[in-house]
Every structure is written in structure tokens, then in C-alpha cells.
Structure 1
């Protein structure tokens, strides 16, 4: 079905693997189109409770494929037509999304990782704010998410200096949730995804929305948004299961409904 990505679903977990490993999984127009199709498929598939995005080979993604960049290119239009839809789709995605950063994540590859809800990083992987090295600004919502994660001063430093960030530095900065050793990589990513896929998916989607709104609204408006979201969560099947499991002193079996 796809030429530049792999897409699979197993036991409630969808996995998108960027698959241009000879080009370090650099983005092309074709890859963006296929990525959008896979994201929409995972969003509508009720069997999917969690999504993993990762890369094949040695890299997560090197960002935009510079072989396709020309002097005549309208960089702004590329963002609007190719990157913007993906960032908006991820922001509205109502299920948890994991960036499994198996190798270097540079440029818009770094941006893609930032747009995910959780970041698991291989111990040998690196982040690179590569834009400055070709005279560009960080794009694809990079500067929207980055200062929220690590603060203004450090975001400015990374964006302007463009230095490599090791996995341990990324953990210290607050950029990633876990740094995983080489021998445990596949298993720990799978275990983390399985843990998320067994949680109340509707509540996770509402949490994602509220976290986004916390940056946009004042306290009174946020409390109203919170009340609306809690009403939705309170009507869910998973809430009723959680209550029943609590009373019966057992582990709840959530269905994501």
C-alpha cells in the first residue's frame, strides 16, 4: 500500500515506520502524503488505542530531503501544504502518540518528534536543530513546542547554535520521557505502548486537549473547558468500568470507550 512508510496494527497499537533508510528517512512530498493517510487511518480505526512513529535503519528522520530543495521553491507553501496538515492532525489526534526515536532526528524530523505526546529515545540517538546550518528557521511547529518543553532561553540556544543533543542531554533538558539502552530498545518501546493502549483512551484524548488549552486560556475559561471535558469523561464506559473495578478491588479493563 505504501512506498515510503510501513504501517501495521498489532494488539491495539498502530506503528508508522518512516522507510527511506537510504536517505535517513528524509521527507518528500510522497512521504508526507502517505504519512497523512496512515495518521487518518489510525485515527478512525477503533481498534487502535495508541500510535508509534519511528524510523527504519539508523535514523528517525533527517528532516526535509534537501535534494528536492531548489532556489525557486516557495518554502512557506511547502510548510502550508505538506507540514502544516501533519502537525494539525497530530495535535487533534485523540489517542496517545509515541515518537520512538531510534536514531538521529534532525530538522523537521526533530519537529515531528516534538509534536508527539511521548518521546522514547535510543541511547545512541541524537537531536539536531539543523535549520540554522542552511540559513533557515526551525519550522513544522518546532518553536511552538520546544520552549514549552525546555523554556525560552534553552530553546533559543538550540535553535541558533544548532548543536547536536545527545540522548542523555535530551533527558536532562526535559525533551524526552525515557532513554532506552540498545539491548532493550524494541521491548521497552513495545511495553510502553502496551501500557498506554490499555488505559482509558477517551480520557487521554481529553487530557491532550486540555493541556493544549492551558497555554491559550485564562483560568476561568480553562475551568469551564475542564468541566465540559470531565462531563464527557464521566459519560464514558471506561469511567463506569473504573468505578466498578475500584469497588470490586480489581484492575480495570478499559476498552477506550
Structure 2
């Protein structure tokens, strides 16, 4: 087992941030989210970094928060900080989604500027399955991309959205066949690394102001709501059912 949930590698102007717990489908602990944030914030201050690539090791991008660890309000705070770091860095950030992007893993992918996914990948807001609400800015990121109706369906029914469908909806930017995924990710990363950094920074800021002016407020509302839900019996039942691989029995308490 790899105790380090996040690893970074640097090649020239390209920084890769790798979610590295493949045995847990890259499920994130609070410490992993902090490490991710610190890597992105450091890249923001490094003039030598021109593009950031966020990827997952193994067969998943990220399966969400690790329910085997302590998940509490500090986890939500760490996720919020990670989302803001991804949006505030004035450099292009690519999410290379080679498998499941679920829960906060889905939020992290959608917080990136470009999302390139394998055709076999899928996106899932799995929060309701354990009695929680979407966090990591998903309540702003998803409707900004696909509209209220589809966002509500994703949030309430926790359905898997195949990468092809996600592209057609406008949730992600690109889907490619599995056998050319690595080549396409490398090509786009190299192109962005050679692009105009000042223009990219202005593009990010302008698009975010137009498309997601309420992101910061959404993070606050999610934090308040999630803190309450994490103390509920429904959440305890949801986690127990998840671990027992059974359907939860929610009571609204």
C-alpha cells in the first residue's frame, strides 16, 4: 500500500499531480486533499510551470472520499481549498480521467479547465447514496456545465454518466478511445505548455466570472449542509450499508 496519496513529477514546464492510491481506487483522505492543494498552490507560484496535469494511478481517476478514513467537516474544508486552488491558479489544468471519477473525485475533475476522458470512464455524483449532498463545488460546477435539470438528476439519482454522454452534455471537454488516451493527453499537455501564459490566465478568470460567479458561495452552502449531514443517522447508515454492500435504509434523521 502506498502511504503517499498524492505524488508529483515535473518534466520541463509540465507538472503532473498523480492521485496515487490505486489499491483504494485513489480514494482521498483529508491529508491527500491537503497535499493536492499544496502542489497546485506551489505550481501557481512557480514561473517554470506552464501547465498542470491531474491524473489517477491505476484503473480509476478518483473514487471520492475514503469512507474507511475519518470524513468530517475538515475533509470538506480541504476539498473546498483544493477546488479553489484549481480555479485560482492562472495556468491551464488538465484532468486526465482514465476511469471512475466519483464523489469529490468528480468535483476535482470538473474543477479543471479541460477534462480528457477515456471512452470507458464515467462520472458519478455518489453522495446521495451515503446520505450526503454533493460538495467540492459540484453544486456550481455541474449546473454551470449541463444545466439545472441534469445536475439535479446526477445529484439525486447518483447515476453513472458515461464519458461519451458527459461529452455530449458539455460536462467534459473530450472523450477519446482508450488505446490513444495517453497520446492525446500528452499532445494537449504539450500544446498548452507552449501556449501564451498571460492569455490563459485571463481566459480562466473571464470565463469563471461569466460561468461560475457563485462558486465561492456554493462552497460555503455545501460546507454548512455537509457538516449537518455528516452528523446524521442517515450518513452513518449510508456508510454502514456501503461497507456491508447492501442497500441503505434512510429514515430522515
TM-score higher than 0.5: yes
Q: 2:52 corresponds to which residue?
A: 51
Give the structure, 1 or 2, with the largest relative contact order (CA under 8 Å, sep 6 or more).
2
Deviations 1:101-137 (A, max 9, x none): 0110000000001111100001111111100110110
Alignment of 1:18-167 (within 5 A): 18-69=19-70, 75-80=72-77, 82-167=78-163
Tell me which structure has the larger Cα radius of gyration: 1
Match of 1:185, SS? helix
Aligned residue-pair number: 211
Q: TM-score, normalised by structure 1?
A: 0.79
Any stretches of 5+ residues in structure 1 without a counterpart? Answer: 218-257
Q: TM-score, normalised by structure 2?
A: 0.80
Aligned alpha-carbon RMSD (Å): 1.5
Shift of residue 215, structure 1, vs aligned partner: 4.4
Match of 2:91, SS? coil
Deviations 1:61-94 (A, max 9, x none): 001000124xxx6x444312x1121111112110
Distance 2:189 2:45 in 1: 18
Q: 2:168 corresponds to which residue?
A: 172
Match of 1:7, SS? strand
Match of 2:68, SS? helix
Once the two structures are overlaid, the 10-residue window that deviates more, 18-27 or 41-50, is 41-50
